[in-house]
C-alpha cells in the first residue's frame, strides 16, 4: 500500500521525462567520454562520470516503487541474483558482484524504456541521429588535429583509470574521436547507423548514412564493428519475400558465435599470417583462437563448473577491477557467447540463440522503431564473435530495449512476461 504522500511524489515526478533525461546523459557522456573525462578530471570532478548510471538506477528505483516494473525485468533480476550467489560461492567478491550490476545498468534501464520511447519516438530517433553525427564527426576530426585527451590517465578512489587510449596497430592509428576507445567509436557508429538506415525510408538519406558510417568505421580499424555493420546492412537489405533466407542467415550467424569458440577445445588453430595484410586483419583473431578462448574455458572449469559457469560478477568488469590472482583471466572473454557461458554456464547457448530469434521477430514487427532495432541485434551477433558487446553502453542499452519491445509485443496467449 502506498501512502498519500508517496502517491503525490510519483504524480510530481514525470518518470518519462526522467527516463529520457537519463538516456540522453548515458549516451551523450559516453559518446563524449574522452573530453568529458579529461576536463572533469582537471576540475577535480572525476566522479561525475558515474552520473548517468546513477540516474538509470534512480529510474529503476521509481519504476519498482510505482508498480510498473514488468515481470520480464523481475525474471531477469532474479536470474542475475541467483547467478550472483553462485559467483560468491565460487569465490567472487561482493565488490565484484556489485560493480558488475552497476556496469549492467544500461541494459537493465533499457528493459524499462520502451513504453516511454513509444510515446517520445521522435525525440529518441533525433537523439540517435545526433549521436551518429557527433561520433562520425569526432572520428573525422581526429585525423585533422590531435585532441588533448589522447592517452591521458587519471586516478579515482586510488585506482588508475585510462581516460582515453592512444594506440596503433602496425603503424595505423586506431582513431577514437570523442570516445575513449576506437572500439567504443565503432560500436556507436554501427548501432546508430544501422538504426537510422532501417528507420529512414528515403534512399538519399540511407546512402548518406552509409557514406558517412563506413569510412568512419574503417578509420577506427575496429574489425568487429566493421563486420557487424556489413552483416546488419546485408541482412536488412534482404527483401521481405525472402524472409526464409533472412532467417537462415541470422540463425547461422548465431550458431557460428556459439560453435566457433567451443571448437578450440577440439581443434588447434594455426592461421597463415605470412603477409602484412593477414597480420593486420587476423593476428588478433588468432590470439583469441590460440590463447584467450582456450584459457577462458579452462578457467571456467577450474574456478567454477563446466555446466553452471562461475557466476555473475566473476566475468567482465567485476573481474577487471576486483579479481584476485589468476581469476583476472575472466576480465575479457572476447566473445559474447563465452561471456554468457562464464556467467550462466550452458544456458548461454539458449540465451545467445534467443537473441537471434528476437532479431527475426523484430524484423517482422509492424512498428518502425521495433524494426529498426533488428539490424542492431544482427550487428551485435556479428560483433560478439570477438568482443564482449555487453560492455558497450549503447549495445547494452539497445539490447535491453529490443528485448523489452519483443516481450511487450507478444500476445498474452504466447506467454509474454
Quote the DSSP letter at residue 27: H
Burial 72-104 (b: 16+ CB within 10 A, else e): bbeebbeebeebbebbbebbbbeebbebbbebb
Give φ, ψ of 411 to 5 degrees: -65, 150
H/E stretch holding 134: helix 121-144
- What is the 3-state composition of the chain as percent helix, strand, coil, each rounded to the nearest 5? 75, 5, 25
- pTM to 2 decimal places: 0.91
Amino acid 413: pLDDT: 39
Contact 21, 55 (CB under 8 A): yes
The answer to whether 179 touches 188, Cβ cutoff 8 Å, is: yes
- Three cell numbers at 320? 577487471
Using DSSP, state whether 162 is helix, strand or coil: strand
Distance CA 138, CA 185 (A): 9
Cell of 301: 572449469
**Max Cα-Cα span within the chain:** 73
What per-residue confidence (pLDDT) applies to 307?
Answer: 93
* Helix or strand run (H / E) with residue 323: none
The residue assigned the cell 506467454 is 415
Secondary structure (DSSP) of 258-310: HHHHHGGGT--------SHHHHHHHHHHHHIIIIIHHHHHHHHHHHSBTTTBS
**Tens-level pLDDT at each residue, the chain (417 residues):** 445 555 544 444 567 788 889 999 999 999 998 899 888 888 888 888 889 999 999 988 888 887 777 788 889 999 999 999 999 998 888 888 999 999 999 999 999 887 788 888 899 999 999 999 999 999 999 888 888 888 777 777 666 777 777 666 666 677 888 898 888 999 999 999 999 999 998 999 999 999 999 999 998 888 999 999 999 999 998 887 888 899 999 999 999 999 999 999 998 887 776 766 667 677 788 888 888 899 999 999 988 889 999 999 889 888 887 777 677 788 888 899 999 999 999 999 999 999 999 999 999 888 899 999 999 999 999 999 999 999 999 999 999 999 998 887 664 434 445
Amino acid at each position: 500500500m502506498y501512502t498519500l504522500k508517496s502517491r503525490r511524489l510519483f504524480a510530481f515526478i514525470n518518470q518519462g521525462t526522467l527516463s529520457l533525461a537519463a538516456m540522453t546523459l548515458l549516451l551523450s557522456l559516453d559518446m563524449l567520454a574522452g573530453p568529458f573525462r579529461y576536463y572533469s578530471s582537471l576540475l577535480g570532478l572525476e566522479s561525475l562520470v558515474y552520473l548517468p548510471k546513477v540516474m538509470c538506477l534512480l529510474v529503476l528505483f521509481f519504476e519498482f516503487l510505482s508498480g510498473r516494473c514488468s515481470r520480464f525485468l523481475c525474471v531477469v533480476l532474479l536470474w542475475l541474483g541467483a547467478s550472483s550467489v553462485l559467483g560468491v560461492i565460487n569465490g567472487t567478491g561482493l565488490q565484484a558482484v556489485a560493480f558488475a550490476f552497476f556496469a549492467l545498468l544500461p541494459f537493465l534501464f533499457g528493459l524499462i524504456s520502451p513504453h516511454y520511447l513509444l510515446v517520445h519516438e521522435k525525440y529518441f530517433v533525433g537523439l540517435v541521429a545526433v549521436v551518429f553525427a557527433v561520433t562520425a564527426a569526432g572520428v573525422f576530426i581526429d585525423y585533422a588535429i590531435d585532441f588533448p585527451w589522447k592517452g591521458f590517465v587519471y586516478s579515482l578512489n586510488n585506482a588508475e583509470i585510462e581516460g582515453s587510449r592512444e594506440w596503433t596497430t602496425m603503424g595505423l592509428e586506431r582513431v577514437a574521436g570523442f570516445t575513449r576507445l576506437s572500439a567504443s567509436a565503432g560500436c556507436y557508429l554501427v548501432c546508430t547507423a544501422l538504426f537510422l538506415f532501417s528507420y529512414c525510408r528515403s534512399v538519399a538519406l540511407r546512402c548518406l548514412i552509409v557514406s558517412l558510417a563506413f569510412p568512419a568505421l574503417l578509420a577506427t580499424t575496429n574489425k568487429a564493428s566493421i563486420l557487424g555493420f556489413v552483416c546488419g546492412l546485408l541482412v536488412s537489405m534482404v527483401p521481405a519475400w525472402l524472409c526464409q533466407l533472412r532467417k537462415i542467415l541470422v540463425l547461422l550467424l548465431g550458431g557460428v558465435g556459439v560453435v566457433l569458440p567451443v571448437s578450440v577445445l577440439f581443434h588447434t588453430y594455426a592461421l597463415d599470417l605470412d603477409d602484412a595484410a593477414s597480420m593486420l586483419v587476423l593476428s588478433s583473431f588468432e590470439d583469441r583462437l590460440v590463447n584467450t578462448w582456450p584459457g577462458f574455458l579452462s578457467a571456467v572449469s577450474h574456478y567454477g563448473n563446466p555446466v553452471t559457469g562461475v557466476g555473475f560478477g566473476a566475468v567482465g568488469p567485476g573481474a577487471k577491477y576486483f579479481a584476485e590472482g589468476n581469476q583476472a583471466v575472466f576480465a575479457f572473454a572476447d566473445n559474447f557467447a563465452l561471456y554468457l557461458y562464464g556467467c550462466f554456464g550452458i544456458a548461454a547457448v539458449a540465451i545467445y540463440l534467443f537473441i537471434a530469434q528476437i532479431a527475426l521477430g523484430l524484423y517482422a514487427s509492424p512498428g518502425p522503431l521495433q524494426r529498426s532495432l533488428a539490424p542492431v541485434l544482427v550487428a551485435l551477433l556479428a560483433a560478439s564473435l570477438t568482443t564482449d558487446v555487453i560492455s558497450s553502453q549503447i549495445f547494452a542499452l539497445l539490447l535491453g530495449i529490443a528485448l523489452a519491445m519483443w516481450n511487450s509485443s507478444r500476445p498474452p496467449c504466447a506467454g509474454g512476461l
